[in-house]
């Protein structure tokens, strides 16, 4: 029998046991944005990279307020989060050139929410043939680019996002 090693997976498995800080709450200190993989923080919505991505460029878009349900968003937050999802897709099209996207929101643990305390949208770029036997049989994902490299390629475009949205 052959072994497929995925040592990054242990960090994910143990992540539930970490302190109570919410990964989606950006706070006011921007000095840790790169370490936390935060690409954009507006007045109502934040964009960060998924530390355990399905594929390169897997982004998460969340309201700045710590909310557990879509129905708790204000009308302004609802519009801003969807606009931010739309803008993030534009950035991904420009930088990683995907052939499609999966965009979704998991509400509640039964629906697959890994972090149900703070709602967030997933934006997953897709390419034809990007799922292979490694994921299907080995429960291992092959990510062809280091996450810090992808972050560096995306970050300048999210600076433009801030300028184009009036700082929101």
Which is more confident, 58 or 53? 58
Nearest CA to 113 out of 161, 48, 67, 65 is that of 67
Per-residue confidence (pLDDT) for residue 128, from 0 to 100:
85
Angle (CA) 82 60 75, round 5°: 30
Determine which one of 120, 122, 146, 157 is catalytic: 120
Per-residue confidence (pLDDT) for residue 168, from 0 to 100:
47
Average confidence score pLDDT of the chain: 83
Q: Is 120 a catalytic residue?
A: yes
What is the share, in percent, of the chain residues with pLDDT greater than 90?
Answer: 54
Residue 125: phi and psi, rounded to 5, are -65, 145
pLDDT band at 7 (very low <50, low <70, confident <90, very high): low
Which is more confident, 14 or 19? 14
Within the chain, what is the greatest distance between any pair of CA atoms?
56
Give the separation between CA 40 and CA 49, rounded to whole angstroms: 10
- Average pLDDT, stretch 67-71? 92
CA distances for 159 relative to 1, 64, 166, angstroms: 48, 17, 11
Q: Which pLDDT tens digit goes with each residue over 84-100?
A: 999 999 999 999 999 99
User: Is the pTM of the predicted complex or chain greater than 0.75?
Assistant: yes
Element at 134 (helix H, strand E): helix 133-138
Which is more confident, 142 or 122? 122
Which is more confident, 38 or 54? 38
**Spans of all domains in the chain:** 32-160
Q: Is residue 105 within 8 Å of 122, Cβ to Cβ?
A: yes
Top-level CATH class of 32-160? alpha beta
Q: How many CA atoms lie within 13 A of 150 on its CB side?
A: 22
pLDDT at 45 over 70: yes
Strand partners, 48: 38, 60
Per-residue confidence (pLDDT) for residue 162, from 0 to 100:
62
């Amino acid at each position: 029998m052959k072994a497929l090693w995925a040592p990054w997976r242990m960090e994910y498995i143990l992540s539930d046991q970490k302190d109570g800080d919410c990964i989606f709450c950006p706070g006011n200190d921007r000095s840790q944005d790169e370490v936390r993989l935060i690409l954009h923080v507006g007045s109502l919505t934040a964009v960060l990279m998924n530390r355990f991505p399905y594929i390169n460029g897997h982004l998460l878009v969340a309201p700045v307020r710590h909310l557990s349900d879509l129905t708790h968003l204000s009308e302004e937050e609802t519009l801003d989060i969807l606009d931010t999802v739309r803008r993030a897709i534009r950035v991904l099209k420009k930088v990683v050139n995907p052939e499609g996207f999966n965009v979704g929101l998991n509400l509640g643990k039964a629906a697959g929410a890994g972090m149900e305390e703070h709602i967030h949208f997933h934006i997953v770029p897709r390419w034809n043939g990007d799922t292979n036997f490694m994921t299907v049989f080995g429960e291992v994902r092959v990510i062809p680019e280091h996450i810090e490299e992808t972050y560096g390629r995306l970050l300048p475009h999210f600076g433009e996002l801030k300028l184009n949205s009036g700082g929101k």
